[in-house]
Structure 1
Amino acid sequence: MLRIHFTSDDLVRTRIVPAADPLWEIALSICRLAGRRGQAMFAEWRHQARDGLAKSDALDIVRRVLGPLYRGTSLFIPDFLTPPDSSLGLDAGVDAVLSTPRLLLRQELDKLAGLARTPTWAWGLADGRKDAFHDLRDGLYTYFDTALRPHWSNIQGMVDADRAMRGRAYLEGGVEAMLSSFRPAMSWESPVLTVAGHPVDRDVHLGGRGLVLIPSYFCWGAPVPLADPDLPQVLVYPIQRDRMLGVHKEHSEQQPGTPIGRLLGPTRAAILRATVNGATTSELARRHEISAPAVSQHTQVLREAGLIVSQRAGPSVIHTLTPLGRALLMGATMARGPFAGERRGDG
């Protein structure tokens, strides 16, 4: 059981990151790829990821480089693999990983060695060997491009929907109401946030640092904290998922006859615009003066097209734009996700 103790300063400094974190999703998806937890939810994604890695000849580098570091378990993920810079995008996160001081790298690898055998190549990181850093960089990019990038718009859309739900709780009752919204994964009884399913009995006192909450598609079961309680604290939590990755194909073309082509109707287009900041079915019905069942029919079409996601929050259903839906409203041909404009460095 994990107990996180807040002060009044911590409540003020607690926030939810604005987007899915690519390095945390890499770490936790590798756990899902190698482990058995969440088999039904991730079955189709797991099949597609393994098939894609095998076809691109990337399976070897993932097995040799990434697999031994993550070990297929979230019980211990070396903290240097999930830096806060990753919230700014994949390139920023990878640059931060590769810039980790050598002393810290050795300390993290020593921790890993205490739980399982650290791969031989990884000690080259602590020794400053360029080939080791190149292997890690190539492994991270190759895995993300093959296993996650094809689904990133859907992942981000579901993260957006979860954040909208938490934001509504915050607007209605402040940060304590937002923390209460995480039941049953976490329970809030001021001033302590309790994670009942955490495998280690531990108390973390934030001491004014605040808490950064990171919504994750691939987090399964108990939320995951950083291993080192002395670092600025983050807590990765599982979002509510309204679809399984790989089952609903993401649409990138706006052709007549596809679900996206059916959006030409004025009412449906207006409903799509109204979901920019999230809206419930009843709110959309009131705003457009149509019945709730009619709204549900329109939102079903938008959901099938991959333009919105819908999440239940108590008695209400909240509809939120996906990146693809936002790109359509902006006149773009497809959603580019949070990596637009980024270029990989040679590092």
Structure 2
Amino acid sequence: MLRIHLSSADLGRVRVARQPDELWNVALGLQRLRAAEGPSALGGWRTWAGERVARTPGGREAVHRLATVLPTRGYFPDFLTPTRGEATLDDGLRTLLETPAERVEAELRLLGDQRWEHTRWVTETGLGGLAGAMTRFHEVAIAPVSRQLRAMFEAERMVRDRILLDQGVEALLDSFTPFARWRAPVLEVDFPVEQELELDERGLVLLPSAFCRGRPTSLRDPDLPPVLVYPVAADWSEPKAEAGAIAALIGPTRQQVLACIAQSAGGRTTTEIARELGVSTASASQHATVLRNAGLIYSRRLGNSVLHGPTELGKALSG
């Protein structure tokens, strides 16, 4: 179990990441690709990614190299995910390449003597080769599904931000059952090893990830910026316009519904839309369904309510 100790100052510094972290996507995605799971795991992404790796030049080599430093489960070196859990690929790799050689070797040795023999190439050739392999794997298996990943991330962030806004940070921490439990002033997280983490007023970044498997993960070194990566349900289907759905959008009421949703940072429930626009809840729900079918909004259940947020296309059209 991981026990994260939060002072009152830390509670004020808890937040959900603003964007996905691409190096975490690479690391956890590689683990999921190589895990002993069925072909339908992650909605078919594992099968799709495996086929792309096999037929893309440099794909197999990149996976082979990364596999030496990324076991299919358990600990992997902290320097592979060096940012605070919300970085682009370029930013993350830039930070990774600045890792001191002593730290690289020390963290690789934590993988064990037997694996050390297979990871020495990293210290012997420098981090450029490792960064190249991460870049190639990202190009092959992560970048092509970036829109789906972003949509899953934004939907999850919308729900968590809404809980934080309406109910406060302790309710947010309490919402991560079944894999975490808030027992003030400690967040108890299901973890493969016993670990205590004192935040010491550094706060905590919560990073949702479709590639995180089963239970959350974090960095081994307690002195690094605290980040907790937690699993979200993977839905790889992109919102697609149904036949005639765009035409059905024409009309002032639906335009108002879309604007109402897009202008709210924390999303809008069906009831809130109905109240703001002076329509019935059934009417608001019907309009939201049309908008969702047209790929302009996404919807997620929050307790007994349905929370709606705009897709990138919805934001563009609402402006």
Query: Under a length normalisation based on structure 1, what TM-score does the superposition of the two structures give?
Result: 0.82
Cα-to-partner distance string for 1:162-214 (whole Å, 9 max, x where unaligned): 2222222222332212211222221101101001x311122222222222211
Secondary structure of 1:84's match? Answer: coil
Per-residue Cα deviation, 1:61-81 (whole angstroms, up to 9, x for no partner): 2322112222222x1121111
Aligned residue pair count? 316
How far did residue 12 of structure 1 move? 2.1
- Residues in 1 aligned to 2:199 and 2:20: alpha-carbon distance in whole angstroms: 23
Q: Is 2:122 aligned against 1:125? A: yes
2:309 corresponds in structure 1 to 320
* 2:9 equivalent to 1:3: no
SS at match of 1:218: coil
**Which residue number in structure 1 is paired with residue 144 of structure 2?**
150
Gaps of 5+ in 1: 331-347
Question: Any idea what the Cα deviations from partners look like across 1:67-126, whole Å, max 9, x if unmatched?
Answer: 2222222x1121111111662311101111122111111111111235x61464x42433
User: 1:5, CA displacement in angstroms?
Assistant: 1.2
Inter-CA distance 56–20: structure 2 relative to 1 (3 Å threshold): same
- CA distance in structure 1 between the aligned counterparts of 2:90 and 2:205, rounded to whole angstroms: 20
* Aligned-pair identity (%): 38
Per-residue CA distance 1:27-46 (angstroms, 9 max, x = gap): 11222211135864514111
Corresponding letter in the other structure for 2:258: L
2:182 to 182, 185, 188: 188
Contact kept? 1:222, 1:237, Cα under 8 Å: yes
Structure 2 residue identity aligned to 1:45: W
Cα distance in structure 2, aligned partners of 1:86 and 1:95:
14
The residue identity in structure 2 corresponding to 1:109 is L
Separation in structure 2 between the aligned mates of residue 295 and residue 118 of structure 1, nearest angstrom: 59
Rate the CA distance shift 1:160–1:6 in 2: closer, same or farther, 3 A.
same
Partner SS for 1:199: coil
The unaligned stretches of length 5 or more in structure 2 are none
RMSD: 2.5
1:6–1:85 distance in 2 versus 1, CA, 3 Å? closer
**Contact in 2 for aligned 1:279/1:318 (Cα 8 Å):** yes
- Give the aligned residue type for 1:13: R
State the match for 2:256 in structure 1: 270
Aligned to 1:71: 71
Structure 1 stretch displaced more, 94-103 or 282-291: 282-291
2:2/2:195 contact within 8 Å kept = yes
Is contact 1:49–1:146 with CA below 8 Å preserved after alignment?
yes
Find the counterpart in structure 1 of residue 275 from structure 2. Answer: 286
Q: Quick check: 2:20–2:85 contact (8 Å CA) kept in 1?
A: no
Distance in 2 (alpha carbons) for counterparts of 1:231 and 1:177? 26
Q: In structure 1, how many angstroms separate the alpha carbons of the residues matched to 2:183 and 2:314?
A: 38
Mapped partners of 2:274, 2:37: distance in 1: 39
Whether the 8 Å CA contact 1:154–1:322 is kept in 2: the answer is no
Partner residue in 1 for 2:231: 238
- Tell me how far apart the structure 1 counterparts of residues 58 and 26 of structure 2 sit (CA, whole Å): 15
Pair 101,198 (structure 1): closer, same or farther in 2 beyond 3 Å: same
The alpha-carbon distance between structure 1 residues 296 and 72, as it changes in their structure 2 partners (threshold 3 A), is: farther
Question: Any idea what SS the aligned residue of 2:171 has?
Answer: helix
Cα 1:139–1:258 change in 2 (3 A) is farther
How many Å separate the matches in 2 of 1:203 and 1:324? Answer: 43
Counterpart Cα distance in 1 of 2:169 and 2:209: 20
CA contact (8 A) 1:38 1:220 kept: no
Q: Residue 204 of structure 2 aligns with which residue? A: 211
Q: Which residue of 2 aligns with 1:202?
A: 195
CA distance in 2, matches of 1:264, 1:51: 41
Match of 1:95 in 2: 94
